[in-house]
Structure 1
Amino acid sequence: MAKSSKQGKSVTERSGGKLLADALVAQGATHVFAVPGESYLDLLDGLYSVRNRIELITCRFEAGAVHMAEAHGKLTGKPGVAIVTRGPGACHASIGVHVAMQDSTPLILLVGQIPVIETDRETFQEVDYRKMFAPLAKWVTQIDDADRIPEIMAHAFDVAVSGRPGPVVVAISEEMQKDLVSVPDIGPADVLPAHPAPDAIPRMMELLAKAERPLAIIGGSRWTEEGRNAIRDFVVANDIPTAVSFRRQGLFDGTSKHFAGDLGVGADGKLVAAAKEADLILAFGTRMGEPVSQGYTLLDMAGATPLVQVYPDQAEIGRVYRPALGITSDLNAFALALKGEKVKKPKWGAWRKQVRAAREEQAEAPNYEGKINLAKALQALEKELPKDAIFATDAGNFATWPTRFMHVKEGQDFLGPTNGAMGYGVPAAIGAAISFPDRQVICFVGDGGFMMTGQEIATAFHHGVAPIILVFNNSMYGTIRMYQERVYPERVSGTLLTNPDFSLFIQAFGGHGELVETTEELVPAYKRAVASGKPAIIEIRTNPEQVTNRATISDLRAQGAGAKK
C-alpha cells in the first residue's frame, strides 16, 4: 500500500528488512559479504529482492567475510559491506573491524541483534555492541525504529568515508526488521572534498626549497588513480626520493627511480637511516604510526626535523609528531592542487640517487642456502604477473620477502593488513577477486595464517573466482619464533606447527594444487595454476633455518647469546 511521506512523495510500505536492503542500494553498495544468521532473516529476504543490484557473497566465517568487505573497501574507496549475526558472529567479525580501523578503510558492518524487548536479560547471544565495538570503530549505533533506517544508514556511509575513513557498526534489532513502514529512501550526499588552505602549498614549497635532503612518505587510503598520478608527477618533477608507509606498496611505482622502499616492519636499515638523516619529511596521507616511525624512533617528537603532514582529519595531524606544517585536506584534492608546483633549483639530486641506490641494493637477491632461494624465485615470478595484478598479503615474516624483493608497479594494487592481522590474506584475495573478476589476484600467506582462514577458499569456488595463493610453509609461527630466538635462544616454546599437505587441500575442493621445493619450480607452477583457470594453491616449502630474509635462526641465537654475556 502506498502512503504519502512527510515530504509529500508517495512511498510504498516496506518491511524493515526490505528497507535495509534498499538503503544499501541507495548508498551504492554492489557487494555484501555475509555469514547468514537467524537474527537477520528479514534482511536476507530483502537482499533477495534486490539480487539484481547487489551481489550477496556467502562466506564461511565471519572474520573472513569482514576481511573480504575490507579488501573491497580498500580497492574501491567505497565502504565495503559485511553482515553477521549476533553474539559469536559479531565477536568473530571484530578482528576485521580492527583491521579497517587501523588501516583507515571505509567499512559498514551490519550485526543482527536480539529483540529489543529482551534487552539486559542476558538473552541468547546478547551483546551490547555500542560497548563492544566502541574502541574499534568510528561510530557504533543500533536501529530499533524502522522509520529511521534510511537516515541512519545514510549517515553510516557518510561517517565511513569522511575525514579519516574507517568502520561503522550498525546493529539491527530482530523485530524492527519485520515492522512495516512508509518512508522514502535517502541517497548519498553530494559533498565536495576538503581542499588545502590557500597558503598551504606555498608554505610547503618554501620549506621544500630550503631543504637539502627531503624525503616523501606516501600512505593512507581512498587514493584515486588520478590522485596517485598527481602525487607521482609532483615528486618526480621535484626529484624527491619517495617511500611508502607500511603495506601501502600500491600507492607508488616500485620500479621508479624515485622509489625509496617501504617504511614499516622489516624496513631496510639504510632507508631508516636516510629517513633519520632527512632534513624535511613530506608525509602525504600517512599517520606516521608505530610501524612507519620504527617504534616512534624515526623523528624527534618536538619537531627537530621539519615535518609537513597532509591528512584529511585534523585530529591526526601532530598526534605524535609536531609538524612544521599541518595541512588538512582530502588527499586527492591536495595532490591535484600540486599541479605545476616545482622548486626552481633542487639541491638534492645526489641525495635522491643515494637513497635509490640503497633500495636497489637491498632488492638484490643474496645467495641463500638451501634448495630454494626465495628471493630469486619471487623475482622470476614478478616478471610473469599481469600489469594489473592485485597483490594480497597476510601478516608474518614471510611477507617481508615479496616486500623486499618484488616491486608493485603502476597499475597494480596491493592489499595488506597494517594492523598485522594474521588470517587476512586469503579472504582479502577472494574479496578482491570477487570485486574485480577480470584481474588476477595473487595471495602471499604463511602456513600459520592460512590455517586461520584458509577454509574461505570454499567461497572462491562458490562464487566462481580463481585467486592464486602462495603458501609459505616453514612449519612454525615464524615471526614469534624470530622474537623468541632473540630473547630466549634455543628455548623453543609454542611456535612449532604441524601442517597438512596444502596442495592436496585445494585439490579436495576441485582446485589446482602444486608443491614447490626449489627455486626453478615456482614460475612453471604459477603458469600451470593460471592455465587451470581454477582457484589454486602453490605450497612453497621454505628453509625453516632462514627465518627472515636477513637472518637465520643460528644468527639470532648467536645474537641472543651475545646480548646475555
Structure 2
Amino acid sequence: MTATTRMTGGDAMVRSLIAHGIDTVFGLPGVQLDHLFNALHDHSNAIRVLNARHEQGTAYMAFGWAQSTGKVGAYAVVPGPGILNTTGALSTAYGCGAKVLALTGQIPSDAIGRGYGMLHEIPDQLGILERLTKFAAHIDHPSHVPGIMADAFRQLHTGRPRPAAIEVPMDVLAERAMVGDPQVPEVYSPVEPDPEQIDAAAKILGNAENPMIFVGGGAYDAAESIRELAQMLQAPVVSYQNGRGVVDERTPLGFTIMPGSEQWIRCDAALAIGCRMQPERQMWGIDDGVRLVHVDIDPTEIPRISKPEVGIVADAARSAEALITALGRHNRTRADRSDEYTALKAKHWAHLEEAMSPQMGFLKALRDALPEDGLFVDEFTQVGYIARVGFPIYAPRTMITPGYQGTLGYGYATALGVQAAHPDKAVLSVSGDGGFMFTANEIATAVHHGLPVVAVVFADGAYGNVLRMQKELHDGRVLASTFTNPDFVKFAESFGADGRRAETPDQLRTAVRESFAARRPTVIEVPVGEFPDPWAVIRPTRMRPIKKWSDR
C-alpha cells in the first residue's frame, strides 16, 4: 500500500519531478507558482532551478536540454501570458519530437472559466496546451499529483516523443493534503517490429542494387544499428536537419541532401527511419522505381505523404537490429562503395565551396574551432542555412535545429539549455543579428548561471532572407526587413559577458578557439554584407516524377 504524507500540492509536484529523474527546471516564478517554487527551494539539494529573463527563454532552454540529451527538459512559468510566451518553443518541440515538460499555474480553481478578469486569466488555457502537446492535464487536488505526473512521463517516454503540459491552480499548489508517494517510474519496453514485415523489408532492401537510408530525429537512439545496417547494404545515410550525425559525415556513408539528391536518381529501394522524407518525396519526387520501406513509431506518419510498400510501426533501434539479422538471409553480395561515395561527396563539396564561398569559409572556420565532441546550435540565418549541408556533423544530438517550424530566434536560448545539460562540453550558437535579438536578453542568464556558450552573430543589419525575397519579387521594394543594431561587443560586455569582433574566417577561427578556452559566456560579432542566395544551392530539386496523390 502506498504511504501517504501531508504536504502541499507544490511539494507533491517537486517530489514527483525528482522521482522521475528531473534534476533541473528552467523557470520564472510568479504569484500563481509561489508554492511550487517554495517547494523547489526545499528540495534544492536534488533539483536546481535556472531562472531566465523571459518565459520563452525557459522553454527554449528546456528544448535544448531535451534535444541534446534525449531526456526530459522541464520548465515552469506562470499561466496566461507566461505560458503563451512559451508557445513558440512548444511548437518547435512538437515538430522536432522533443521531450519537453511544461509546468504552469492557474488562477484559483473556483474562478476558472468565469471570466472575472483575474491576473493572468485567459480562456481555455488547457485547450490551448492540448493543441501544442501530446498530453495536457489539469490537477485539481494535491492527491492527484503522483498519478497525473506519472501519466505525463509515460506519454513523454512512449510512442512518438512530443511535449507534455500540466496546469495546477494556485490554490491546489498551496493546499496541504494527504498525498501518496510518487509513482515509481516505469520501465518502458520498446515496441518490437513485426517479424513478417521485417522479412519483407529485408527482401526489398537486400535485392536492391542502390538502396538508400533516410533518417530523422526518430533515428538518433538507433545510430549504432543504423551504421551497421548501412555497411551491410553499402547504402548512404541521408539526413537534412534533424537526424544529422546518425552516421559520421566524415565517413563515406554519411550524406547530406546534396550528394543524396544525385544518388536518388539511381535509388531503387529506400529505407526511412524516424523521418518524414518530406524533401525527398515531395520535392525530389518518388515513382514506381523506388520501393519504399518506412519505419516509424507513429503509425499516422507512415502513410502521410505516400504509402510505402512496407510500413513498420515499431522502435527504430529494434527495427534496425531485426533488419540486420534478416539481411543475413536476404542480402546480395555487395562490393565496397567507399571510393564511389567519397568522390560523389567531394564533387558536391567543391561546388558548395565555389558557389557559397563567404558562408563556407566561415563554416569551415567554425568547424575547425569546435571540438570534436562539441555541440552546434544553428539558426535560420544565411550561414545557418548552408550549415545544413556545409557543416559536417560527427555524432547524434550534436547539431540542434528547429526542424520544420523554422523558429527564428530560438537559437541562443536553446544553446543555453544545451550548455546546462553538457557543462563540460563546448557549445556553439550561430545566429544572424535578426534572430539573435529575439533572446539576446538571455546573455544575462548565461552570466548569472555561468553558462559559457559562445554565440557567433553574423550582422548584416537585415532579415537577410526576407530582404532578398522582397528585392526579387517586388522590383527592389523593401519594407520592414532592415534594422539598426547595437554594438554587439559592448552589448555583451554590458551584461558581464565577453564581447569580440571578427571580420574574416581566420579571425573567427581564432576568436572561437580562444573563447572556448576562456570558458566564459561570449558573443562574437561578425560584420558581413549581403550573402549569395543559399537556396539556389540547397533547395531540393525535382529528380524523379511525382505520383498523383490518388496514386500514392
TM-score calculated relative to the size of structure 2: 0.90
Cα distance between partner residues in 1 of 2:531 and 2:414: 29
Aligned sequence identity (%) = 27
Tell me the SS of whatever aligns to 2:437.
Answer: helix
Q: 2:156 aligns with which of 139, 155, 160?
A: 160
Name the structure 2 match of 1:265. Answer: none
Cα distance between partner residues in 1 of 2:395 and 2:254: 12
Amino acid at match of 2:191: A
Q: Within the alignment, does 1:274 sit opposite 2:263 as a pair?
A: yes
Q: Within the alignment, does 1:416 sit opposite 2:401 as a pair?
A: yes
Name the structure 1 match of 2:231. Answer: 236
Please say if residues 393 and 399 of structure 2, whose CA atoms lie closer than 8 Å, have aligned partners that are also in contact: yes
Shift of 1:549: 7.4
Shift of 1:403: 2.6
Aligned length: 529
Shift of 1:376: 2.3
Tell me the SS of whatever aligns to 1:366.
Answer: helix
Please list the CA deviations of residues 362-401 of structure 1 after superposition, one character each: whole Å capped at 9, or x if unmatched.
32363579xx833123213323322210111122333123
Tell me the SS of whatever aligns to 2:250.
Answer: coil
Please say if residues 252 and 341 of structure 2, whose CA atoms lie closer than 8 Å, have aligned partners that are also in contact: no
Name the structure 2 match of 1:557. Answer: none
Shift of 1:436: 0.9
Cα distance between partner residues in 1 of 2:346 and 2:484: 37
Please say if residues 220 and 287 of structure 1, whose CA atoms lie closer than 8 Å, have aligned partners that are also in contact: no
The 1:283/1:412 distance shift into structure 2, 3 A limit, reads: closer
Please say if residues 211 and 233 of structure 2, whose CA atoms lie closer than 8 Å, have aligned partners that are also in contact: no
Q: How does 1:108-119 map to 2 (within 5 A)?
A: 108-119=101-112
Name the structure 2 match of 1:378. Answer: 363
Amino acid at match of 2:111: E
Q: How does 1:183-262 map to 2 (within 5 A)?
A: 183-184=179-180, 185-221=182-218, 223-224=220-221, 227-262=222-257
Tell me the SS of whatever aligns to 1:56.
Answer: strand
Q: 1:519 aligns with which of 474, 499, 505?
A: 505
Please say if residues 68 and 397 of structure 2, whose CA atoms lie closer than 8 Å, have aligned partners that are also in contact: no
Cα distance between partner residues in 2 of 1:278 and 1:130: 46
Please list the CA deviations of residues 432-466 of structure 1 after superposition, one character each: whole Å capped at 9, or x if unmatched.
11111011101111111100011112111111120
Q: Within the alignment, does 1:531 sit opposite 2:517 as a pair?
A: yes
Cα distance between partner residues in 2 of 1:520 and 1:191: 49
The 1:411/1:79 distance shift into structure 2, 3 A limit, reads: closer
Q: How does 1:393-472 map to 2 (within 5 A)?
A: 393-410=378-395, 413-418=398-403, 419-472=405-458
- Superposed CA RMSD in Å reads 2.3
Cα distance between partner residues in 2 of 1:410 and 1:312: 22
Name the structure 2 match of 1:561. Answer: none
Tell me the SS of whatever aligns to 2:272.
Answer: strand
Shift of 1:21: 0.6
Q: 2:89 aligns with which of 96, 119, 126?
A: 96
Cα distance between partner residues in 2 of 1:362 and 1:131: 47
Amino acid at match of 2:523: I
Please say if residues 18 and 43 of structure 1, whose CA atoms lie closer than 8 Å, have aligned partners that are also in contact: yes
Please say if residues 488 and 525 of structure 2, whose CA atoms lie closer than 8 Å, have aligned partners that are also in contact: yes
Please list the CA deviations of residues 409-432 of structure 1 after superposition, one character each: whole Å capped at 9, or x if unmatched.
137711110011012110111101
Please list the CA deviations of residues 465-494 of structure 1 after superposition, one character each: whole Å capped at 9, or x if unmatched.
201111111211122223333422412222
Please list the CA deviations of residues 267-293 of structure 1 after superposition, one character each: whole Å capped at 9, or x if unmatched.
x3x53353354221110110234xx34
Cα distance between partner residues in 2 of 1:304 and 1:165: 33
The 1:496/1:547 distance shift into structure 2, 3 A limit, reads: farther
Please say if residues 458 and 528 of structure 2, whose CA atoms lie closer than 8 Å, have aligned partners that are also in contact: yes
Cα distance between partner residues in 2 of 1:412 and 1:310: 20
Please say if residues 271 and 355 of structure 1, whose CA atoms lie closer than 8 Å, have aligned partners that are also in contact: no
The 1:247/1:357 distance shift into structure 2, 3 A limit, reads: farther
Amino acid at match of 1:510: G
TM-score calculated relative to the size of structure 1: 0.88
Q: Within the alignment, does 1:345 sit opposite 2:301 as a pair?
A: no
Please say if residues 511 and 534 of structure 1, whose CA atoms lie closer than 8 Å, have aligned partners that are also in contact: yes
Tell me the SS of whatever aligns to 1:217.
Answer: strand
Name the structure 2 match of 1:61. Answer: 54
Q: Within the alignment, does 1:330 sit opposite 2:306 as a pair?
A: no
Cα distance between partner residues in 1 of 2:48 and 2:475: 51
Tell me the SS of whatever aligns to 2:412.
Answer: helix
Q: How does 1:26-65 map to 2 (within 5 A)?
A: 26-65=19-58
The structure with the largest helix share of the pair is 2
Pick which of 374-383 and 360-369 moved more: 360-369
Cα distance between partner residues in 2 of 1:78 and 1:468: 24
Tell me the SS of whatever aligns to 1:249.
Answer: coil
Q: 2:4 aligns with which of 11, 16, 28?
A: 11
Please list every run of 5 or more consecutive structure 2 residues that lacks an aligned counterpart in the other structure: 538-552
Amino acid at match of 1:55: R
Tell me the SS of whatever aligns to 2:220.
Answer: coil
Amino acid at match of 1:420: G
Name the structure 1 match of 2:467. Answer: 481
Please list the CA deviations of residues 192-211 of structure 1 after superposition, one character each: whole Å capped at 9, or x if unmatched.
11111112322111001232
The 1:175/1:102 distance shift into structure 2, 3 A limit, reads: same
Cα distance between partner residues in 1 of 2:77 and 2:280: 35
Name the structure 2 match of 1:146. Answer: 142
Please say if residues 106 and 167 of structure 1, whose CA atoms lie closer than 8 Å, have aligned partners that are also in contact: yes
Shift of 1:535: 0.6
The 1:273/1:348 distance shift into structure 2, 3 A limit, reads: farther
Pick which of 244-253 and 135-144 moved more: 244-253
Cα distance between partner residues in 2 of 1:489 and 1:277: 40
Shift of 1:251: 2.2
Please list every run of 5 or more consecutive structure 1 residues that lacks an aligned counterpart in the other structure: 1-6, 263-267, 552-565
Cα distance between partner residues in 1 of 2:305 and 2:359: 37
Amino acid at match of 2:121: E
Please say if residues 254 and 408 of structure 1, whose CA atoms lie closer than 8 Å, have aligned partners that are also in contact: yes
The 1:251/1:454 distance shift into structure 2, 3 A limit, reads: farther
The 1:485/1:187 distance shift into structure 2, 3 A limit, reads: farther
Q: Report which structure shows greater RCO (CA 8 Å, sep ≥6).
A: 2
Please say if residues 35 and 84 of structure 1, whose CA atoms lie closer than 8 Å, have aligned partners that are also in contact: yes
Cα distance between partner residues in 2 of 1:117 and 1:304: 62
Pick which of 92-101 and 140-149 moved more: 140-149
Amino acid at match of 1:186: Q
